[in-house]
Structure 1
Amino acid sequence: MTAPSLHSIRPCLEGAIPAVMATCASDGTPNVAYISQVVYVDEGHVALSFQFFNKTRANILAHPQASVLVLDPVTARFYRLHLRYLRTETHGPLFESMKARLAGIASHSGMAEVFRLKGSDVYAVEHIDAIDGEGLPPPPCRTGLLHRLRQCSERMAACTGLDELLQTALACLREALGIAHAMVLLLDAPAQRLYTVASCGYATSGVGSEIALGHGVIGVAARENTPVRINHMAHAALYSHAMRSSLQAGSADGPALAPGTEIPYPGLPEPHSQLAVPMVAAGRVLGVLFVESARDMAFDFEDEDLLVALAGHLGAAIDLLQAAPDSSEAPPAPAAAPAPAVGGAPVRVRHYASNDSIFIDGDYLIKGVAGAIFWKLLRDYTQAGRTDFTNRELRLDPSIRLPDVADNLEARLLLLQRRLQENAPPMRIEKTGRGRLRLCVACPVLLEEQAG
Structure 2
Amino acid sequence: MNKPRFSIFDAIENTAFGRLKLRTKLTLGNMLITFLVIFVMGSYVYFRTQQAGAQLTIQLDQNIRNRAEENLLSTSKEQAALLNNFFESMSRDTSIVGSTIGDMFAQRETLDNGLYWNAATSLVRLSSGNWDNSDSEIASIFLPADLDLSESLVAKLNILKHTELVIPSILEDNSDIIAIYFGGVTRETVYYPNIDLAAIVPPDFDVTGRIWFVEAAPENNPEQQVIWSAPYQDAALNGLVITTSVPVMDNRNRFQGVAAMDIQLLQITTLVSNIQVGETGYAFLVDNNNRLIAFPERGYSDFGITDATARLGEIMDSSTLPDAAPEFFKILDTVAADTEGVFTINLGGTEHFVAHREIPEVQYNLVIVAPSRELLTEADILSSQIAVETRNTIVVSVILIVLIFALASAISFTISSRLTTPLRDLTHAANEIISGDFEARVEVRSQDEIGTLAKTLNAMTANLKGLIQSLEQRVVERTSALQNELQKGKRRSKQYEAIAKVAQAINATQNLQELLPQISEVISQQFGYYHAGIFLNDASNQYAVLSAANSEGGKQMLKRGHQLKIGEQGIVGYATGSGKPRIALDVGEDVVYFNNPDLPETHSEMALPLIISGEIIGALDVQSTEANAFSHEDIDVLATLADQVSLAIQNARLYDQMQRSLAEAEAISRQYFREAWSQLTHDQKVTGFRYTAGGTIPLDVNHKQDQKGDSERKKVSVPIVIRGENVGALEVMVPAQERVKPDQMDLIRAVADRVAIFAENARLFDQTTRRAERERLVAEITTKIRGTNDPGEMIQIAVEELREALDVSHIEIVPQKSAPTDR
TM-score over 0.5 (shorter chain) = no
Task: Give TM-score, length-normalised by structure 2.
Answer: 0.20
Larger radius of gyration: 2
Q: Which has the higher contact order (CA 8 A, sep 6+)?
A: 1
